[in-house]
Amino acid sequence: MPVEAIADKGQLWTIILGLGLGTYLLRFSFLGLIGNRSLPPVVLRMLRYTPMAVIPGLVAPAAVWPAATGGETDPARLIAVVVTVLVGIRTRNTLWAMVAGAVTLGLGLWALG
Amino acid sequence: MSAFPRHIFRQGLMASAPFTLMIVPFGALFGVLATAQGMTVTEAMAFSIVVIAGASQFAALQLMQEGAPILIIILTATAVNLRMAMYSVALTPHLGRASLWQRILVSYFLIDQSYVLGAAEFDRRPEWGLAEKLAFYFGVITPICGLWYLATWVGASFGRALPAGWPLDFIVPVSFLAMVSPLLQTRAQRVAAAVSAGGTLLLWWMPYSSGLLVAALAAMIAGAVVETQEERRHAG
């Protein structure tokens, strides 16, 4: 399946450079520009939650309505999601979670698909 | 400027060792998926060199695959990296007095691992001056970032050798959940994750995948609120 934003090189490089610049500015913000002034504690507290605030939302639609099945909910993919999350929470280890999720997905697709 | 404290650079190298285990498969996976979706090796490498932030690179791939508009792709993938502003704040008391070009380099290499290892070690070593702190920091990032580029290149160059028919579409969601689920240890962290996932599903009707950004903001607020409540409960 061709991906339009990758096939169109102008779009692709806009994304690479835009994302790179935005991310660099976030990294440079205090070290480079703002110096020793700090952010209000409530803002710092919110920023700490960005990984769990963005990533589950990014994954949820793909987990519930996967494009590969035409948007139809797929039990094998849902089970893989649940296993990945539980193993990740339990072991606190990304690699184990990843392996458990991939194996579950493979088995699920083979058994149910 | 005193001589470069090499033994402290080596301490940084050692400290980063456990993290290199994780960098290699993720970098390679990014390279494989990027070329599978139509990028050239050069373009995949440009992604890893210019952006140098794994989770947001996977986020951009996922959104490109879904056909989201360019601006939404850039905003959402950048939002994944908002935490880096917090890292920047946290390292400023330690490295803020470095020269401008050093701070330019430190900022470029500011990733989860350099923040986590740097912040922890600098607190443990109040006797370290700026030279020692910089040596440790660059010791940490040398293997991690070097392997990130190398692994991306290997994945992008040799990924096509993988058998067809693998459910590659779903490897990105699984990797994401594998990255984020080890962080879900407190109630506040779990609430934030639930608001993020539930909110995005409820707001899926919003145009241009913008519901995700709204849900993410709500999730950050929810996490901060729950954390504040729990602190009060412990205090009271």
The pLDDT tens digits for B52-107 are 998 899 999 989 988 889 999 999 999 989 888 888 988 888 898 899 999 999 99
Query: Is the predicted pLDDT of residue A42 greater than 90, yes or no?
Result: no
Q: Note whether A29 and B88 are within 8 A (CB).
A: yes
Mean pLDDT, rounded, of chain B: 90
What's the gap in Å between the CA of B48 and the closest CA on chain A? 9
How far apart, in whole angstroms, are the C-alpha atoms of residue B110 and residue A27?
Answer: 6
CA atoms of A113 and B61, how far apart (whole Å):
26
- What's the average model confidence in pLDDT over B208-221? 88
What was the pLDDT predicted at B164?
64
pLDDT at residue A36 in the model: 64
Confidence at residue B159, expressed as pLDDT on a 0 to 100 scale: 85
Is the pLDDT confidence value at A112 over 70?
yes
pLDDT at residue A113 in the model: 66
Residues B159 and B188 both lie in one domain: no
The SS3 call for residue B182 is: helix
Same-domain status, A87 and A32: no
User: pLDDT above 70 covers what percent of chain B?
Assistant: 96
What is the least distance, in Å, from the CA of B132 to any CA of chain A? 17
* Contact between chains at B70 and A2 (C-beta distance less than 8 A): no
| B60 and B88 Cβ atoms separated by less than 8 Å | no
- A57 and A101: one domain? yes
Give the pLDDT confidence score for residue B235 in this predicted structure. 83
Can you give the pLDDT at residue B163?
Answer: 66
Count of domains observed in chain B: 2
DSSP B162: S
Kindly report, residue by residue over B120-146, the tens digit of the pLDDT: 889 889 899 999 999 999 999 999 999
Residues in chain A: 113
Q: Mark which of B113, B135, B164 sits at the end of a domain.
A: B164
**Shared-domain flag, residues B197 and B97:** no
Q: Do B182 and A6 touch (CB under 8 A)?
A: no
Give residue B124's domain range: 6-164
Q: Does residue B205 share a domain with residue B143?
A: no
User: What's the pTM value of the predicted model, to 2 decimals?
Assistant: 0.82
Rounded CA Rg of chain B? 20
Nearest to B111 by CA among B143, B142, B84, B132: B84
Q: Shortest CB distance from A7 goes to which of B38, B50, B170?
A: B38
- Alpha-carbon torsion, ordered B206, B209, B211, B213, to 10 deg: -150
Residues of A in contact with B103 (CB under 8 A): 28, 31-32
Question: Of the ranges A44-53, A101-110, B191-200, which is most confident?
Answer: B191-200
Query: What is the span of the domain harbouring residue A29?
Result: 1-37
C-beta separation of B83 from A52 below 8 A = no
Does one domain contain both A28 and A76? no
ipTM given for this complex: 0.85
C-alpha–C-alpha distance, residues B59 and A19, integer Å = 11
Query: CB-hemisphere CA count at 13 Å for B130?
Result: 12
